[in-house]
């Protein structure tokens, strides 16, 4: 059997530019597992060119 197939992704923000992302996967037998949370920090990006 292969690895569980990710079926749902959730992103939750804490209001400080950081977001936690984790994947809920369900295997062929219907057992769900949740991945370890991954924290993503968003950094403001300056747009190039234009006005």
pLDDT tops 70 at residue 16? no
Residues contacting residue 20 through CB under 8 Å, at least 6 positions apart: 11, 12, 14, 37, 38, 39, 40
Q: What is the pLDDT of residues 30-44, one digit of tens each?
A: 887 877 777 777 776
Give residue 11's pLDDT: 57
- For the chain, the domains span 5-33
């Amino acid at each position: 059997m292969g690895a569980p197939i990710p079926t749902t992704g959730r992103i939750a923000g804490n209001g400080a530019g950081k977001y936690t992302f984790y994947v809920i996967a369900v295997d062929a037998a219907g057992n769900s597992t949740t991945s370890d949370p991954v924290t993503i920090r968003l950094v403001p990006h300056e747009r190039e060119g234009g006005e």
